[in-house]
Chains A and B, each alone.
Chain A
Amino acid sequence: MKNIEIVQDTNFIETLEEKLDLDGPFSSWELFKMAYEAELTTITSEFHGLRALEFLPHMNFLPHQIETAKQAIEEMNGRAILADEVGLGKTIEAGLILKEYMIRGLVKKILILVPASLVNQWVKELNEKFYIPAATFRKNYPWDSYDIIVTSIDTAKRSPHREAILDLHYDLILIDEAHKIKNHKTKNFEFVRALKKKYCLLLTATPVQNQLIEIFNLVSILKPGHLGNYESFLEKYGKDRKKINQDAFLKQLVQKVMVRNTRKDTSLDNSKRHIETVWVDFSPEEYKVYKELDKTFQPFSTFSKITFLRELCSSREACFLSLQKFVNDENNHGREVLQPIIDQIGQLPHHAKAQKVVELLKNIGDEKVIIFTEYRASQLYLQWYLQQHGITSVPFRGGFKRGKKDWMKQLFKDKAQVLIATEAGGEGINLQFCNYMINYDLPWNPMRLEQRIGRIHRYGQENDVHIYNFAIRNTLEEHIMSLLYEKIALFEKVIGHLDDILAELNIKSFEGEVKAIMNESSSTGELKIKLDNLASIIQSTQNSWQEESQYGN
């Protein structure tokens, strides 16, 4: 008891007496009572548990996310490494922890350091999902004027920001992609260590990439001395990266400051994914137009040609509209070459894929099906075409307002058989009641495909999910299909470590890489070889990853 500091409220009674002297102003009985009720609803009457869950009824947290947040707060006392595998929701866990601390009044000033490219996304997610009023740093506003700020470490460590930030006292520091500060000789590391902080969260999918000393450095930010001091650690574990598995003691220590969930041990694996590739052949007329477009390269860059070809693989409408737009733009040349192609597209019969969709839907029977396409024009066309065959459908777009999204979801659930979506829309639509999905055309970014599947294959899905991936033979879709989704076997292994593998290979954007290959290849043969090469590099990195990344579990 003598060690407990007691802070009294000194100003209440003085203010009350002043008001009595001045005869007011006073609160009415109604409002006075309500203020008391307001306090009662917002207090936290237990040391343990997550109050934040009550505050966020619109969020569907996965069990491992809730468990992780609890562990980080209750057992690790707010200093933790969150090291889930990619795709299991580290951001969600971090948001939940932040929210809990804010509700309990333990945290007010927060500094969030993330890679520059993720700053806006963090701000958006914290605001929309967690109602945490985070802001980005803007010039002319001093650092101490923000309560919750998201910025990049590169900005923060630069003078004069550095000095201003180091002067402040933060209640919580969060660092995303924390493996970037694992080297204790860098400016980043030194900067982070110098921050005044109460709580601290480090997010990384790869706490150890090369050497065990990396985990030592990360832990030293959170809990210096937890793994001994630098010299003794180096002496004992050297620069090996595998010893962590052999040393039960070290593993145990690390688990006291780090939570790592893997796909294998989350309940996501309860329902299975059945993935089937559906090959479609163009009709002879369609092939003719496709080849003609493929041969035409003069008027536009290869880049836009790829786009047109992809569109043609999706629907006549999608390609028609953008070609039309292209020739109507006076800055572009090539109307003479393109107009005949546009005319031919106008003459084409119904798209081979659309016909296949109807056939497949009839086979599936009465089940609910969600169809994803990349293009608005294809979405409209499909809706019309399905209606011609007596199949009811509703559209869905990321751009819909919240209310409209809910409404469409409800219509799909109660009335329509099919939902045709152009974009996963990120959040707000969970369709666990549906377990069939048709990927009418495939995104070139595997993350986006994973997001699509995540709409139905998520916590709460009780049935196996069936996913059909459409691709047209002898077109660029065939290359994409065989590279992304067969060679790399992305579906079976889920996306897992792709992020890290790409980082290791110094590939910034997978989609960009594929486009570049398409761009630079002068023949289909060359294209195929290059894509094959890319696939095998990724594959071999992936294999070595899987052997080595089983630390800390």
Chain B
Amino acid sequence: MAINLHSFLENYFEAHHCDILSNQNGVLKVQLNEKMDRALMNRPFYWHYIKKMGRDGDPMQLTLISNQDSLEERGERIHFGSPRLQQILNHLKENERFTRLFQVIQANQNTALQPWLVVNIKISYIGKHKKDEVFSIGLNLINGIMKTEMMESLSDKEFGMKISDFCYTITPIIKPISGYKRILSVLDQYIQDLDHEWAKESLQELENEMNLLKHFYEGAYDEELEQMEKELRDLKERYQPKIQIKVVNGGIFYIRGN
């Protein structure tokens, strides 16, 4: 797993403004707030009735044990693949899709921030089997420069929701939608240039099995033919190669240019 689970969880709850009650030896105890209780604890009826009675409600506490050697008994064991972690990851993926951020700068003179469109994109290659690839691409909306591994290059910078003192933003020359189209066309070229052996294999398999199927139904009529059509559709669904392009998340970043 690419992340350190324990600090990941800590950051997650802090970013959602939950109090960390205790945190040692891989056991994290958190006081949820209402928003996070609603998001994670799956008790819509409680919140429905408590609000109907005009009360605030008591968000629950959550103890997560990420240290697999811990003998702590009270709490939920959490590890890669556990339902709780999947829930948290999904919660992130669903809710943190759009942003607009300003680089945080301790400036004492006027500083310009340039707008970038940053898009994180997942490409899935689906045939007999499936694999994914993630690209993080940034496009400068002033001069059209494009960078890959954008998230990695931003990772050591600080960003806030509001612009820092003495900073001002430059108005984009390229519209985000045009920038997005440029990014897509670059990806399209990338895909065109790939060797799609996987797709060939998948089409080959599709053809083989279609031939078998037709042989099987030789001389068939009526209902049997219908059955054959159904099975042909099933086959295509299973083998027809597809490439799926999906944006993980993205937004506008105002970054000091140098």
User: Does B86 make an interface contact (CB < 8 A)?
Assistant: yes
Residues of chain B with a CB closer than 8 A to A106's CB: 126, 130
Docked CA distance A328–B211 (Å): 74
User: Does A45 make an interface contact (CB < 8 A)?
Assistant: yes
- B220-257 interface bits toward A, Cβ cutoff 8 Å, 1 = contact, 0 = none: 00000001001101100111111111111111100000
User: Does A38 make an interface contact (CB < 8 A)?
Assistant: yes
The smallest beta-carbon distance between B235 and chain A, in angstroms, is 9
User: Does B114 make an interface contact (CB < 8 A)?
Assistant: no
Docked CA distance A498–B247 (Å): 54
Are B192 and A16 neighbours in the complex by a CB distance under 8 Å?
no
Interface residues of A in 29-51 (CB under 8 A from B): 29-48
Are B243 and A6 neighbours in the complex by a CB distance under 8 Å?
yes
User: Does B198 make an interface contact (CB < 8 A)?
Assistant: yes
- Which one, A5, A41, A225, contacts B240 given CB within 8 A? A5
Are B80 and A57 neighbours in the complex by a CB distance under 8 Å?
yes
Docked CA distance A19–B155 (Å): 24
- Which one, A5, A9, A39, contacts B93 given CB within 8 A? A39
- Which one, B16, B155, B199, B249, contacts A3 given CB within 8 A? B199
Residues of chain A with a CB closer than 8 A to B38's CB: none
- Which one, B97, B124, B243, contacts A35 given CB within 8 A? B97
A54 to B, closest residue via Cβ: B80
Residues of chain A with a CB closer than 8 A to B122's CB: 39, 43
Are B205 and A77 neighbours in the complex by a CB distance under 8 Å?
yes
Residues of chain A with a CB closer than 8 A to B240's CB: 5
User: Does B143 make an interface contact (CB < 8 A)?
Assistant: no
The smallest beta-carbon distance between A204 and chain B, in angstroms, is 22
Interface residues of A in 422-478 (CB under 8 A from B): none
A37 to B, closest residue via Cβ: B3
Residues of chain B with a CB closer than 8 A to A348's CB: none
Are A34 and B231 neighbours in the complex by a CB distance under 8 Å?
no
Also in contact, A47 and B198, with CB within 8 A (given A29-B158, A35-B93): yes
Interface size on B, residues (CB 8 A): 94
Also in contact, A5 and B129, with CB within 8 A (given A24-B100, A28-B161, A42-B89): no
User: Does B15 make an interface contact (CB < 8 A)?
Assistant: yes
User: Does B215 make an interface contact (CB < 8 A)?
Assistant: yes
Interface residues of B in 1-30 (CB under 8 A from A): 1-3, 8, 11-12, 14-16
The smallest beta-carbon distance between B186 and chain A, in angstroms, is 14
Most B C-beta atoms less than 10 A away, residue of A27, A28, A30, A229 = A27
Residues of chain A with a CB closer than 8 A to B140's CB: none
User: Does B196 make an interface contact (CB < 8 A)?
Assistant: yes
Are A38 and B238 neighbours in the complex by a CB distance under 8 Å?
no
User: Does A522 make an interface contact (CB < 8 A)?
Assistant: no
User: Does A105 make an interface contact (CB < 8 A)?
Assistant: yes
- B93-113 interface bits toward A, Cβ cutoff 8 Å, 1 = contact, 0 = none: 101111111000000000000
User: Does A131 make an interface contact (CB < 8 A)?
Assistant: yes
Interface residues of B in 200-224 (CB under 8 A from A): 203, 205, 209, 211-218
Docked CA distance A7–B214 (Å): 30
- Which one, A12, A41, A54, contacts B3 given CB within 8 A? A41
Also in contact, A30 and B15, with CB within 8 A (given A46-B131, A229-B218): yes
Docked CA distance A24–B101 (Å): 11
Residues of chain B with a CB closer than 8 A to A401's CB: 73
Are B249 and A27 neighbours in the complex by a CB distance under 8 Å?
yes
Residues of chain B with a CB closer than 8 A to A263's CB: none
- Which one, B1, B14, B74, B212, contacts A224 given CB within 8 A? B212
- Which one, A3, A27, A37, A54, contacts B99 given CB within 8 A? A27
Docked CA distance A26–B88 (Å): 18
Are B68 and A36 neighbours in the complex by a CB distance under 8 Å?
no
User: Does B151 make an interface contact (CB < 8 A)?
Assistant: yes
Chain A interface: which of B45-53, B55-63, B163-171, B176-184? B176-184
- A222-249 interface bits toward B, Cβ cutoff 8 Å, 1 = contact, 0 = none: 0111101100000000000000000000
User: Does A273 make an interface contact (CB < 8 A)?
Assistant: no
Docked CA distance A46–B77 (Å): 29
Also in contact, A41 and B1, with CB within 8 A (given A7-B245, A224-B216, A403-B73): yes
Are B251 and A32 neighbours in the complex by a CB distance under 8 Å?
yes
Docked CA distance A531–B1 (Å): 57
Are A36 and B216 neighbours in the complex by a CB distance under 8 Å?
no
Are A5 and B245 neighbours in the complex by a CB distance under 8 Å?
no
The smallest beta-carbon distance between A55 and chain B, in angstroms, is 3
Are A43 and B227 neighbours in the complex by a CB distance under 8 Å?
no
Are A220 and B216 neighbours in the complex by a CB distance under 8 Å?
yes
Also in contact, A13 and B100, with CB within 8 A (given A3-B199, A35-B93, A223-B212): no
Are B131 and A31 neighbours in the complex by a CB distance under 8 Å?
no
User: Does B145 make an interface contact (CB < 8 A)?
Assistant: no
User: Does B54 make an interface contact (CB < 8 A)?
Assistant: no
Most A C-beta atoms less than 10 A away, residue of B72, B79, B205 = B79
Are B126 and A407 neighbours in the complex by a CB distance under 8 Å?
no
Docked CA distance A438–B95 (Å): 56
Residues of chain B with a CB closer than 8 A to A35's CB: 92-93, 95-97, 248-249
Are A47 and B98 neighbours in the complex by a CB distance under 8 Å?
no
Are A30 and B11 neighbours in the complex by a CB distance under 8 Å?
yes
User: Does B44 make an interface contact (CB < 8 A)?
Assistant: no
Residues of chain A with a CB closer than 8 A to B233's CB: 196
Residues of chain A with a CB closer than 8 A to B153's CB: none
Residues of chain A with a CB closer than 8 A to B160's CB: 29
Docked CA distance A57–B134 (Å): 25
Docked CA distance A24–B1 (Å): 32
Are B1 and A54 neighbours in the complex by a CB distance under 8 Å?
yes
Are B71 and A410 neighbours in the complex by a CB distance under 8 Å?
yes
Are B155 and A33 neighbours in the complex by a CB distance under 8 Å?
yes
Also in contact, A198 and B216, with CB within 8 A (given A29-B101, A43-B134, A44-B130): no
Residues of chain B with a CB closer than 8 A to A269's CB: none
Are A229 and B216 neighbours in the complex by a CB distance under 8 Å?
yes
Residues of chain A with a CB closer than 8 A to B8's CB: 34, 37
Are A39 and B130 neighbours in the complex by a CB distance under 8 Å?
no
User: Does A78 make an interface contact (CB < 8 A)?
Assistant: yes
- Which one, B79, B242, B246, contacts A9 given CB within 8 A? B246
List 22 interface pairs A-B (beta carbons < 8 Å), by A numbering.
A6-B245, A7-B243, A13-B176, A16-B250, A17-B176, A19-B98, A26-B101, A28-B161, A29-B99, A32-B96, A35-B95, A35-B248, A39-B134, A41-B1, A45-B132, A77-B205, A131-B81, A133-B83, A199-B238, A225-B211, A225-B214, A229-B218
Apart from A47-B130, A224-B217, A401-B73: 13 A-B pairs, beta carbons within 8 A:
A5-B240, A27-B98, A29-B159, A30-B15, A32-B249, A47-B125, A47-B198, A57-B79, A74-B129, A194-B227, A225-B211, A226-B212, A403-B71
